[in-house]
Structure 1
């Protein structure tokens, strides 16, 4: 017999690319790592899953006490090392002084044996040697101070030894290998749970991370959300019109350093900056038309092209910044989408899910949000998110759910660092937003709110 567990709300913070670990680390505190948090529908915290790092056990106050003592011993060791270096330096100085002292001693003997022949020259030599020995006095004083410090160190080490022994007795013979195995088991179970998370609701946008500064004020760059983890190619399309050159880079590092692996010359020029690479094909809006083109990046030829019925084009219904951004192609966890506007819907946003092969609309939703009032838009898990502006101070202002056919006004700010956003698209594989921000290629991290339901054996 199987029973169904209650719904659990989990906040997951996905990280960008392979540069960051797949498990979220939220400010390690005393060696602990936050793997995930749970909260109810009202946002109240229910629990947080945490575990210590594999190389450190800090499970209680006694562990903290041990670490403090360890730090103290390390500080003492460093001080002893400094003292040792200074002692060696001073010892070498004293060795040099020894010959001078011997010479001074013979000079005194000579003076004592023949006081009558003592001349002014002997006094001058004696004075010079005495002057050279003056620095020895503070050195000897320092040795006295160092001797006191060493004595204090010895006493403190004896005290620390007794405290460490007492703490060890209190903690007992706990099996840390067993604890480590439990931590690893918990981590694996949590990773397995997180891997089942597919869709969620946007809670927060953080960043941006500036990857590169290049090109004109307007453009697009992207990776393929359908590609395998080993495929990390980047595609780059500068400008919003009168261009058909696409640059390909084998990796993010190559993109940053400007090492191109291939250049494509498209058969048709593009319009706008709202292109998308999906399953090894580039989808873009053909210039001065409402035709969508599917171009194979593997064969270098057009596979499909189809007009988007009644969609405005060539700055009839663009985003607020213009740039022939009438038709916005995007992809999320559920597939390929087109965001546009029509006369029949009074210039308001229309949303269609497309067949990626034929480009036929599989389903269409009419919203009541003016396309011209939208700054930019992107899809996450079948929900359209619209920004209120393309300029500084922009925020995600409006959402439309294709699952419920309902809209909502929200307030999720994001940092428009370079003041003019001409492209903002979600990548489902990377769980990140790609942006073209006034000639800067940037990435935004997103926080999603997930609702998961799992079945457990009774």
Structure 2
């Protein structure tokens, strides 16, 4: 496939002049067969062949895992039916114990043990599938990173064709994970857990849509409360400085990776309006961008449906206290299962972080909590189920959640939940309740993490 594309792109004359030694031989039917060796200094054909081989292997693995998930669905239906039948039988025995002998009781015990054995077997299978899916995702992420580098350095047309194949693999993986999550993680949007247990390894999608590592200030993610029909939409905004000038929308993950946005909103138009923001602390909720207004210093929201912006000042908020990794992150917006939040610091709090709950209808901070952590020492914060999580750097490769504040109990705790960093620093970190992922923007790269919880049941 790659050799064919090379000939189509360069033409035989160009290829012949660029190639080194030729290997000649005779093919069946009297045709002459020539094998060309293209040095990597001219074009990285060796890397592409290796990537294509890996893609075939991953495709096979994915097909196997998808078939397993289908089997899990069938098994679950069987297990549920068995458990329901057992429940009905035990209820009858409780209501009328005299009608059942010791033999009946022993039979029920055997059935219970059989179901227990089946559940243990299924749990082991699930764990294996989860491990394989994480491994596949890491492989695909590495390949897309390599292809992004090749696309910048070498001929873009060929790399783009090859890269599309990996995007298809990425889509297959997303579909397999989605079905896996629907079966085994049915509680997205529900807070029946006691907090975060751990994070996955970083999942690196690719360099930003501008293909510019200089665009290191920015963010990306999904709408935390999407309008009907926008459940798969992604957004992206970035700049070479901390100004917030534009936001681009993508209909789904594939379009994001292929940099095919369907709408870009400009927050600044000369002689018309200046709705610019600053910092890397924004989110999208119900097709509305919540961000820090540039002038005056205030919280702002830009409705991307009506294409209109409004701002509202927080009287006590200060511009002197930003996060550790980036300047101008004075107002940090977050969204979780329970609504919209903003964190900031004040002169009165002496730089200690303040958490506010925003009423989305009135666009007012309606409730405030004071924490004990100094905001400039914090890497970033995010909200999950009404609980604030704050991060800090452990070393160049490790970040950790070190502090939590529960708004339900007003209790704060010091914890240690480490996770691996893609690069030493990052400017954006936010949780999305629609898929239970953390979205990070790290030196221009799209990065995300799966979040795993301590489930009560």
Whether the TM-score (by the shorter chain) exceeds 0.5 is yes
C-alpha separation in 1, matches of 2:332 and 2:313: 14
Partner in structure 2 of residue 198 of structure 1: 191
> Displacement, 1:432?
0.3
> Displacement, 1:52?
6.5
Partner in structure 2 of residue 294 of structure 1: 301
Answer yes or no: is the 8 Å Cα contact 1:32–1:50 preserved in 2: no
Question: Are 1:317 and 2:318 counterparts?
Answer: no
- Runs (5+) with no aligned partner, structure 1: 1-18, 36-46, 57-186, 453-458
Larger deviation: 384-393 or 404-413? 384-393
C-alpha separation in 2, matches of 1:361 and 1:424: 22
Which of residues 417, 421, 433 in structure 2 aligns to 1:428?
Answer: 433
TM-score normalised according to structure 1 size: 0.56
> Displacement, 1:197?
3.5
Which of residues 443, 446, 449 in structure 2 aligns to 1:444?
Answer: 449
Residues 26-105 of structure 1 correspond to what in structure 2 (within 5 A)? Answer: 50=119
Answer yes or no: is the 8 Å Cα contact 1:199–1:381 preserved in 2: no
Bigger-Rg structure (1/2) = 1
Cα gap change, 1:362 to 1:52, in 2 (>3 Å)? same
C-alpha separation in 2, matches of 1:256 and 1:451: 37
Partner in structure 1 of residue 331 of structure 2: 327
C-alpha separation in 2, matches of 1:392 and 1:195: 29
**Whose helix proportion is higher, 1 or 2?**
2
Report the 3-state secondary structure (helix = DSSP H, G, I; strand = E; otherwise coil) of the residue aligned with 1:299. Answer: coil
Which of residues 351, 354, 357 in structure 2 aligns to 1:350?
Answer: 354
Count of equivalent residues: 282
TM-score normalised according to structure 2 size: 0.56
C-alpha separation in 1, matches of 2:358 and 2:404: 20
Report the 3-state secondary structure (helix = DSSP H, G, I; strand = E; otherwise coil) of the residue aligned with 2:430. Answer: strand
Q: Deviations over 1:168-220 (max 9, x none)?
A: xxxxxxxxxxxxxxxxxxx9x98797468435311101121111212422211
C-alpha separation in 1, matches of 2:185 and 2:352: 41
> Displacement, 1:397?
0.7
Answer yes or no: is the 8 Å Cα contact 2:281–2:428 preserved in 1: yes
Answer yes or no: is the 8 Å Cα contact 1:248–1:260 preserved in 2: yes
Partner in structure 2 of residue 370 of structure 1: 374
Partner in structure 2 of residue 154 of structure 1: none
Question: Are 1:211 and 2:210 counterparts?
Answer: no
C-alpha separation in 2, matches of 1:380 and 1:49: 34
Partner in structure 1 of residue 235 of structure 2: 235
Report the 3-state secondary structure (helix = DSSP H, G, I; strand = E; otherwise coil) of the residue aligned with 2:427. Answer: strand
> Displacement, 1:272?
0.7
Answer yes or no: is the 8 Å Cα contact 2:220–2:439 preserved in 1: yes
Answer yes or no: is the 8 Å Cα contact 1:248–1:261 preserved in 2: yes
Q: Deviations over 1:148-184 (max 9, x none)?
A: xxxxxxxxxxxxxxxxxxxxxxxxxxxxxxxxxxxxx
Answer yes or no: is the 8 Å Cα contact 2:230–2:251 preserved in 1: no
C-alpha separation in 2, matches of 1:274 and 1:430: 20
Cα gap change, 1:48 to 1:400, in 2 (>3 Å)? farther
Partner in structure 2 of residue 259 of structure 1: 260
Report the 3-state secondary structure (helix = DSSP H, G, I; strand = E; otherwise coil) of the residue aligned with 2:317. Answer: coil
C-alpha separation in 1, matches of 2:197 and 2:118: 20
C-alpha separation in 2, matches of 1:48 and 1:344: 60
Partner in structure 2 of residue 336 of structure 1: 340
Partner in structure 2 of residue 284 of structure 1: 291
> Displacement, 1:357?
2.6
Report the 3-state secondary structure (helix = DSSP H, G, I; strand = E; otherwise coil) of the residue aligned with 1:212. Answer: strand
C-alpha separation in 1, matches of 2:276 and 2:436: 30
Answer yes or no: is the 8 Å Cα contact 1:398–1:407 preserved in 2: yes
Report the 3-state secondary structure (helix = DSSP H, G, I; strand = E; otherwise coil) of the residue aligned with 2:398. Answer: coil
> Displacement, 1:399?
0.7
Report the 3-state secondary structure (helix = DSSP H, G, I; strand = E; otherwise coil) of the residue aligned with 2:420. Answer: coil
C-alpha separation in 2, matches of 1:385 and 1:196: 18
Answer yes or no: is the 8 Å Cα contact 2:188–2:435 preserved in 1: no
Larger deviation: 275-284 or 241-250? 241-250
